[in-house]
Amino acid sequence: MDTARASGILLHPTSLPGRFGVGDLGEWAYRFVDFLVETEQQLWQVLPIGPTSYGDSPYQSLSTFAGNPLLISLDKLVGEGWLTNDDLSTVPPFPDHRVDYGPVIEYHDQMLELAYDRFAAGKTEAQAAAFEQFNDENAYWLDDFALFFALKEHYEGKPWVEWARGEALHEADDLLKAMDTHARAIDAAKFRQWQFFSQWYELKAYANERGVKLIGDLPIFVAHDSSDVWANRDQFHLDEVGNPTVVAGVPPDYFSETGQRWGNPLYRWNIMAQQNFGWWIQRVAATLQTVDIVRIDHFRGFEAYWEIPATEPTAVIGRWVYAPGFQFFTVLRETLGGNLPIIAEDLGVITPGVRALRDDFGLPGMKVLQFAWGGRGGENSFLPHNHVPNCVVYSGTHDNNTTVGWWRNPEEVDDYIRHRLGSYIGQFVDEINWTLIRLAFMSVAHTAVVPMQDVLGLGEEARMNTPGKSEGNWSWRMTLDQFRGAPRQRLADLTRLYGRDRASVPDLVEAS
């Protein structure tokens, strides 16, 4: 990836303001790009953008290729003639500071169904041709996903292993019947994907033309209840009816006595290698069409992963299994060509093998400043003086508390950390969020990214995700007042001061 000094903001599109209960790809997404330009930011980092399911986590998507229909701008559908201003004149009283997913999904489904009905009944020749072209170009994943989505709707949201056997096991005769029975629902699902990607690519072009690149997020594992697993059972460790035999997680450590049992099915890497990693290559290539740079979550799983028997309720019992990471990234680099625009999420306990895999392919790792102040001495790799140029530094991530929330929480920050941080910067810590933003921007790391919550100085109430907590995640939204009151000049001044602005990078690579 480009190693010129740059900085950016982490903000998932669902967290944008707007009147429809969830951030979308409409007006406020464009205004956020304008904010990035005004404050000299060159990067906008988002979380995975796939369609979510139970729990609303973008890391447990129904498809690694598809887009989240909740992000479709309803206002833009008015511009296409498939909705009217009257349709949108009565919007439920959604909260403006969080996403209330149940009612929001119900409302958006109603509007998207209405838009599809109008499209189906009155599409022009040009619209029909554009829709057909999208379907043809994306058939390699779209056909399976649209059928999966239609069947999941038919079975009232049940996981695919609970469907009728022939449909659950992707048997050709049963699928042909299902495609005929659910033809309208399949077409409607494809319509939503067409609109999502049409709007996404329009927004991406707007950002790229203004010197802003998008950083996406690719979880190493996919959800079991997804079209990816349903349509590619041979690629995963599953039993004869489709249930996982082993699942992903991480072993017990300082933070958890029982480890973390994520439950994602594990890959049959030997089968993938025999197929020259075709599914993975398609996955990364598709992601790099939607974004300019991709962060791979749990990168260490490409070197070795913790395999837990599916019958185990925790991650205590398991084993490390080696993965063919070097072989995979070699094929990926040969296929994509040039330097890989990938950020390696290398947090946690990282072995020499993981570091070698990261460094041999020139991938920047991550440094999180909230993790820098524990321990003794100056050896902590997250401390700014230990950073290397080829890394990405964050004040915190979506899995962390906000920096203000972290600083105020006695379970996370004790007197020792307060004293250590104050000693490090040589003064009393007044505004902790701006202290960490400044430290990130002054780092030798070529890239610095800070969550929007830290720019706004928000507390724990604005936290995006708490790992291990099953409810209340992924719902934070930035209000209009917060966005309008964001400290633009202060952010721009720091960006210029530490050479992360466009003027400091005269040879900025043209946006893709």
Positions annotated as catalytic residues are: 297, 345, 399
Handedness of CA 185, 147, 103, 33 (dihedral sign): negative
Output DSSP code: residue 503: G
List C-alpha distances in Å: 106 to 21, 81, 94, 103, 494: 11, 22, 12, 5, 43
337 contacts: CB under 8 Å, gap ≥ 6: none
310 contacts: CB under 8 Å, gap ≥ 6: 243, 244, 245, 246, 247
Distance, CA of 43 to CA of 449 (rounded, Å):
8
Contact indicator for 39, 491 with CB cutoff of 8 Å? yes
What the block records as the tokens of 50 is: 């796939």
List C-alpha distances in Å: 8 to 36, 214, 308: 8, 9, 37
Instruction: List own/partner pairs for 253-258 with CB under 8 A and 24 or more apart.
Output: 253/348, 253/349, 256/468, 258/314, 258/315, 258/316
Distance, CA of 202 to CA of 204 (rounded, Å):
5
Contact indicator for 358, 300 with CB cutoff of 8 Å? no
For the chain, how far is it from start to end, CA to CA, in angstroms?
Answer: 12
- Scanning the structure block, which residue is given the tokens 């109008």? 118
406 alpha-carbon distance from chain centroid: 22
Output DSSP code: residue 132: H
Question: Of 246, 242, 66, whose CA–CA distance to 140 is shortest?
Answer: 66
Output DSSP code: residue 401: P
Write out the DSSP string of 269-309: HHHHHHTTTHHHHHHHHHHHHH-SEEEEETGGGGTEEEEEE
271: amino acid identity, one letter = I
What the block records as the tokens of 412 is: 């996370």
